[in-house]
Amino acid sequence: MLQILFWLFLIVLSAKPKPKLTIRLSSRMAITKSQSQFPEISHLQKEEVLNDFRVAVTSRHASLMGRKEVFMGKAKFGIFGDGKELAQLAMAKAFQPGDFRSGYYRDQTFMMAIGELSVQQYFAQLYAHTDVEAEPASAGRLMNGHFATRSLDKNGDWKDLSKMYNSAADISPTAAQMPKLLGLAYASKLFRENKELKDLKKFSVNGNEVAWGTIGNASTSEGMFFESINAAGVLQVPMVISVWDDGYGISVPQEYHTTKGSISEVLMGFERNENKKGFEIIRVKGWDYEGLKQAFNSAGNLARTSHIPVLIHVEEMTQPQGHSTSGSHERYKSAERLQWEKDWDCIAKFREYIISNGIATDDALDQIESEAKTEVKRQKDAAWNEFSGEIKKEIQEVVQLLKTTAEKSTRKVVLLQMAEDLSKTLNPIRKDVISTVRKALLLLRFDGEALKSGLKSWYKLQEEKNFDRYNSHLYSQTEWSAEKVKVVPASYNEKSAMVDGREILQAFFDYTLEKDPRFFAFGEDVGKIGDVNQAFSGLQAKYGEMRVSDTGIRECTIIGQGIGTALRGLRPVAEIQYLDYLLYGLQMLSDDLASLLYRTKGGQKAPLIVRTRGHRLEGVWHSGSPMGMILSSLRGMIICVPRDMTQAAGMYRTLLESDEPALVIECLNGYRLKEKMPANLGEYNVPVGKPEILREGKDITVVTYGSMCRIVGEAAEVLSEIGISVEIIDVQTLLPFDTFGIIGESVKKTNRVLFADEDVPGGASAFMLQQVIEGQNVFKYLDCEPQTLAAKPHRPAYSSDGDYFSKPSTDDVVEKVYRIMHESNPKKFPAI
């Protein structure tokens, strides 16, 4: 009878729109008794279910043991994926080779289920094992629960991503996985719709790849979540975003996070219908095995075949151990809630499902769980032994060295005590070893070189190893490093005409679009009108929307779109309309892009070029030059500050030959200035890290960049008339900064130096000063104090007078240089 009722119910439901059918039906299958009434489950299906159970309990025991490891002092912090296991098993089933995940710290079960994370690797990350073989996601650089697959081989070249299960490298800021998720999905759209990309087989098979995102319920409050959702709906990209909803964000319950307490309800306006494109929205319970499988399967199919974005709201998830090792959830959850979480624990529910469907007995499941637990313990111990074994070996070496050194040293007793203390350290870390050696060397400062040479050479070797372990791969170490690009100078011939600067860029982009199918550009007003300054003018008409396109006003996800597509082998130029608006995208640049190579220790790269324009034009929000902010937040990126469009085009050429991410800031007031069109456009380049001497002089070196080059040039003319010879250096790239020591050589000659720019005082001018004074050993050559000249500490006031009184003018440069000269020779240059 029950069976008949159930099938009747099914028929009724099947008359309704499909998405809802899937969900309501599937939830029922797990919650009602009728689940046992389903047709016989085949042997193969049983195997699959039991295997899922095995993965689930393996992951759960990894979480349980992980927390204990932290409390035992073997790891610093732990955040685990318990309570989220079942949904991730379902997501793993729908995930296919070539697909990408961009998620967060709860996804260990998924990573285990797709075979990209062993329990041993999981623990290696918890302990911060710095070996890439042991901990392939980040070589110990990322906190536990931050997952990544390695897209690059040992040489930094792309692997065949289309055959791999891919995970973009996680970051900790909540919702920051969203912007690049958009780009990962957008890449599929490009691969499918731009036929010129069909030969890039390593990256895509006809754009069939789905980008799978995960996010916590509380994190959906972040602006970048909504921005990404909206953009995905507009772009119609194959993105499946799952919200793991456990009702909390650390201690704060749902009602503080989300209107109506439900993200899927809030997003209903994004839902597609017969007339309008939008999102497919699915709701499912986190303990509903069958429902989850169906939800993820249908979401994957829809996204893959039709490039329709899907949101899966997975409700009723739990946190068996609370948020992380930093606190206990008993402090803020009621006894009732805690009991509910126990009762609705997804693994407990999975057990019920298995037993009630006659797939296995309680005893058989106990047996699987007990085996899983033993295996987790074995792999955890193996990870610990490998991790601590390396350090123990270092300790033995140092203890031995200290003992031998002690024998002949006047500080014998102290050294032996240090050796003793070191050998007894509980759960030693590398810092214990190295710090002991450094203290010993300080102690031995009066002893002869011969005595301490053993200790010193050991330390030197470790310095190299530790640099590699903790500090390497901030910039590309591959053959595609921007610093290694072969220099081709610009050339001119009799046909080289004087044109508007923007025409040089336009011709360059035209040439590159023609030559490199991977190259494409997008941003606000970039498509139809070819950007607000028309460097892409006419190029959308010529190459189509897949190559040159408009976007919504959404800087954060413009950057994310760039990162995601660059992660999939494309060469995007993402445009931020004005430098002042970079702030909206700066977080993604800083947290995600600039740290990517470093945080994966060379495992992933995203050679995105961000194009923008700034320094000076009009008013508070179209004249900014916040270079200090950029320099401090974007280490890991190349920062180009071309003085004109010829240099800009040359820098783009260099960057496109390299595999490094970069920001290029063009001069906002330079597009209509006349420049000579190079004859070898598209071929010449401008090296990074190499300043150019724009004017030779002997009295003072003025170091500057961008729009200030012209102003300093004008000032140099005035100064030359009053007998002061200025050498002007354009740094060209702020990162890397003068790797050739060109500025230092100039200062050796002029013995005076001024660093001038349009940032606030103490901003990039102070950076340049530090780089030269500290980095190029010129202090001893200076006849007077090195100085900086910057803009006023506020943003520039509107109009030409606002500019004059806010930014350094020709008069300011003249006076500043004159004062420096006055200081040196008051007779020749009396005070003004």
Ligand X SMILES: Cc1ncc(C[n+]2csc(CCOP(=O)(O)OP(=O)(O)O)c2C)c(N)n1
Please state, in angstroms and rounded to a whole number, the distance separating the CA atoms of residues 565 and 574: 10
Q: How many CB atoms lie within 10 A of CB 21?
A: 17
Q: Which residue's CB is nearer to ligand X, number 218 or number 539?
A: 218
**Burial environment of residue 254 by CB neighbours within 10 A (0 to 12, 13 to 18, 19 or more):** middle
Count of residues near Mg ion by CB under 5 A: 5
Helix (H) or strand (E) holding 464: helix 449-466
Is 752 one of the binding residues for ligand X (CB under 6 A)? Answer: no
Is 217 one of the binding residues for Mg ion (CB under 5 A)? Answer: yes
Q: Which residue's CB is nearer to ligand X, number 219 or number 707?
A: 219
Is 116 one of the binding residues for Mg ion (CB under 5 A)? Answer: no
Q: Which residue's CB is nearer to ligand X, number 594 or number 662?
A: 594
Residues forming a β-bridge with 638: 662
- Shortest distance in whole angstroms from residue 684 CB to Mg ion: 53
Residues forming a β-bridge with 667: 614
Query: Binds 97, which of Mg ion, ligand X, none (CB < 5 to 8 A, cut-off by type)?
Result: none
Q: Among the residues of 467-554, which ranges form H helices?
A: 501-515, 539-543
Is 575 one of the binding residues for Mg ion (CB under 5 A)? Answer: no
Count of residues near ligand X by CB under 6 A: 14
Among 19, 145, 216, 564, the residue binding Mg ion under the rule CB under 5 A is 216
**Parallel, antiparallel or unpaired: strands 674-676 and 609-614:** unpaired
- Shortest distance in whole angstroms from residue 233 CB to ligand X: 21
Cross-sheet strand order for the sheet of 609-614: 548-550, 519-523, 571-575, 609-614, 662-667, 638-640, 733-735
Among 219, 540, 654, 733, the residue binding ligand X under the rule CB under 6 A is 219
Query: Binds 172, which of ligand X, Mg ion, none (CB < 5 to 8 A, cut-off by type)?
Result: ligand X
Is 386 one of the binding residues for Mg ion (CB under 5 A)? Answer: no
- The closest of 623, 617, 616, 658 to 637, measured between CA atoms, is 658
Q: How many CB atoms lie within 10 A of CB 305?
A: 11
Is 246 one of the binding residues for Mg ion (CB under 5 A)? Answer: yes
Residue 105: which residues within 8 A CB-CB, separation 6 or more?
A: 79, 81, 143, 144, 145, 146, 170, 172
- Shortest distance in whole angstroms from residue 145 CB to ligand X: 10
Is 248 one of the binding residues for ligand X (CB under 6 A)? Answer: yes
Is 795 one of the binding residues for ligand X (CB under 6 A)? Answer: no
- Shortest distance in whole angstroms from residue 137 CB to ligand X: 18
Among 67, 106, 189, 307, the residue binding ligand X under the rule CB under 6 A is 106
Contact track, ligand X, 174-193, x by CB under 6 A = x-------------------
In contact, 628 and 762? CB cutoff 8 Å: yes
In contact, 755 and 765? CB cutoff 8 Å: yes
Q: How many CB atoms lie within 10 A of CB 550?
A: 15
Q: Which residue's CB is nearer to ligand X, number 308 or number 311?
A: 311
Is 244 one of the binding residues for ligand X (CB under 6 A)? Answer: yes
Q: Which residue's CB is nearer to ligand X, number 219 or number 405?
A: 219
Hey, which residues between 297 and 356 contact Mg ion (CB under 5 A)?
Answer: none
Is 517 one of the binding residues for ligand X (CB under 6 A)? Answer: no
Hey, which residues between 290 and 329 contact ligand X (CB under 6 A)?
Answer: 323
Is 253 one of the binding residues for ligand X (CB under 6 A)? Answer: no
In contact, 120 and 66? CB cutoff 8 Å: no
Q: Which residue's CB is nearer to ligand X, number 83 or number 501?
A: 83
Query: Binds 739, which of ligand X, Mg ion, none (CB < 5 to 8 A, cut-off by type)?
Result: none
- Shortest distance in whole angstroms from residue 217 CB to Mg ion: 4
Among 216, 300, 706, 736, the residue binding ligand X under the rule CB under 6 A is 216
In contact, 228 and 181? CB cutoff 8 Å: yes
Is 509 one of the binding residues for ligand X (CB under 6 A)? Answer: no
Q: How far is CA 247 from CA 338, 645, 716, in A?
A: 12, 53, 65
Is 172 one of the binding residues for ligand X (CB under 6 A)? Answer: yes
Q: How far is CA 586 from CA 576, 606, 626, 687, in A?
A: 10, 16, 12, 25
What number of H helices and E strands is found in the chain?
28, 22
Is 530 one of the binding residues for ligand X (CB under 6 A)? Answer: no
Catalytic hit among 257, 307, 329, 622: 622
Is 584 one of the binding residues for ligand X (CB under 6 A)? Answer: no
Q: How far is CA 790 from CA 294, 592, 612, 618, 798, in A?
A: 61, 30, 21, 17, 18
Please state, in angstroms and rounded to a whole number, the distance separating the CA atoms of residues 628 and 84: 42
Determine the interface stretch with ligand X among 85-93, 244-252, 358-366, 598-606 (rule: CB under 6 A). 244-252
Could you confirm whether 129 is annotated as catalytic? no
- Shortest distance in whole angstroms from residue 257 CB to ligand X: 7
- Shortest distance in whole angstroms from residue 70 CB to ligand X: 16
Is 530 one of the binding residues for Mg ion (CB under 5 A)? Answer: no
Residues forming a β-bridge with 213: 102, 241
Please state, in angstroms and rounded to a whole number, the distance separating the CA atoms of residues 565 and 453: 51
Amino acid at 751: N
- Shortest distance in whole angstroms from residue 220 CB to Mg ion: 9
Site residues (vs ligand X, CB under 6 A): 106, 172-174, 216-219, 244, 246, 248-250, 323
Query: Which sequence positions are flagged as catalytic?
Result: 622
